[in-house]
Structure 1
Amino acid sequence: MDPIDRLISWQAIYDLSCDYMRAQDRLDPALHIAVFHEDATTDYGAGWQGDAPGFVEFAQRVLTPQKANHHMIGQVRIDFESADMAFGEVYFQAHHRIAAEGGERDMFVAGRYVDRYERREGVWKIAHRSELVDWVRDEPAADLPGGETMFPWGARAPNDLSCRREEMSLR
């Protein structure tokens, strides 16, 4: 694999992880499924094991009732096995605002995605994704009193500013 192809391929694979996280935070199932090859498999332990379309349906169903989600990518390691296959380890931290009996809760999950990527017909996508959890923390929601902040709050698609680019061109 020549160095330029490796750089372009690394960026394409990294973009898959960014799109995956965005799809979960904005509740965008079309973007969510787009990061996977049609025959991709997933392993999320007891939560879900199976094909990618089933996982996306499962994940979107789990995330929808939550008030907000915020996924962050940490270090990313991508090792190219060949010009068309790579393996990756993507660290993440996720915040989930959950409505629960007795008040809202903040659940924090940190872990890693262990992936196999394949380039087919010139396009890199996830061929297999496993999620490993390294730690979880669950606690009462801890916002400023009344949820006040001088900044606007993020939202789900299509209400989030990142989904309304036409407003950005007017500023």
Structure 2
Amino acid sequence: MNTEERLAALEAQMRDAADRQAIFDCIKRNSRGNDRFDVELVTSSYHVDGVHELGQKQISGREYGEHANHAHAALFDATLHNVTMHSCEVDGDVAHAESYSLGVFLDKGAETGRILAGRYIDRLEKRDGEWRIVLRRATVEVAIEGKATLPSGAPLPGSGYLRGGRDHTDLSYARPLTTEGGGRW
């Protein structure tokens, strides 16, 4: 293999790695936006014509952030969407991804909670150099409910642990991050 062929192969590998990282970043951006009630972040993970399937109905990706905020605020004191195992197939400017997800939901009043485990099955497209979701189909395959207590058996309220904010007051937006601020349970 000559130098030009090696460089071309390296460029192809770098392009593939960069595309895969951008796809995974898009999927994680969606989950982070849900937990921080950051509609702009959620919306930025969908193309203008993107669709999010919720059970038996479909909602525009552009409307999904507001919809999720409303539902999460009405039912839960806190949510944490975790993207775990992830795989994707990239074919030019189209990708198909499967991402396992664990959603942890603290019910209103913080006495009970639930864990939903499922998958995000996504078709993404790269348009104008940016990967975004065109279609998301979400599964729920395991649901567990129970008391929401710390490992010590104590309830979360009054624990003194930091409590995440559901908006831009959350510590993850703080620059620079310092030891000041932040609400506590």
TM-score interval for Structure 1 and Structure 2 normalised by the shorter chain: 0.7 to 0.9
Which of structure 1's runs of 4+ aligned residues deviate more than 3 A? 148-151, 166-170
Q: Is the 8 A contact 2:95 2:124 kept in 1?
A: yes
Q: Is the 8 A contact 1:115 1:126 kept in 2?
A: yes
Ranges in structure 1 where 5+ consecutive residues have no aligned partner: none
TM-score, structure 1 normalization: 0.87
Ranges in structure 2 where 5+ consecutive residues have no aligned partner: 1-10, 181-185
Letter in 2 for 1:12: A
Q: Is the 8 A contact 1:43 1:50 kept in 2?
A: yes
Aligned to 1:142, the other structure's residue is in SS state coil
| Structure 1 residues 138 and 146: CA distance shift in structure 2, 3 A | closer
Aligned to 1:166, the other structure's residue is in SS state coil
Letter in 2 for 1:40: G
Answering whether residue 119 of structure 2 is matched by residue 112 of structure 1, we say yes
Answering whether residue 111 of structure 2 is matched by residue 96 of structure 1, we say no
Per the alignment, residue 33 of structure 2 pairs with 23
Letter in 1 for 2:173: C
Aligned to 2:165, the other structure's residue is in SS state coil
Letter in 1 for 2:52: T
Letter in 2 for 1:104: E
Per the alignment, residue 157 of structure 1 pairs with 167
**Structure number with bigger Rg:** 2
Deviation per residue, 1:78-104 (Å, 9 max, x gap)? 101x2100100000101111116xx73
TM-score, structure 2 normalization: 0.81
Supply the distance in 2 between the matched residues of 1:138 and 1:9 (Cα, whole angstroms): 37
Per the alignment, residue 72 of structure 2 pairs with 63
User: What is the root-mean-square deviation in Å for CA atoms of aligned residues?
Assistant: 2.1
| Structure 1 residues 91 and 146: CA distance shift in structure 2, 3 A | closer
Letter in 1 for 2:66: E
Supply the distance in 1 between the matched residues of 2:126 and 2:98 (Cα, whole angstroms): 17
After TM superposition, the structure 1 = structure 2 runs for residues 1-171 of structure 1, keeping only pairs within 5 Å, are 2-46=12-56, 48-65=57-74, 66-80=76-90, 82-99=91-108, 104-143=111-150, 144-147=153-156, 148-149=158-159, 151-168=161-178
Aligned to 1:145, the other structure's residue is in SS state coil
Q: Is the 8 A contact 1:157 1:163 kept in 2?
A: no
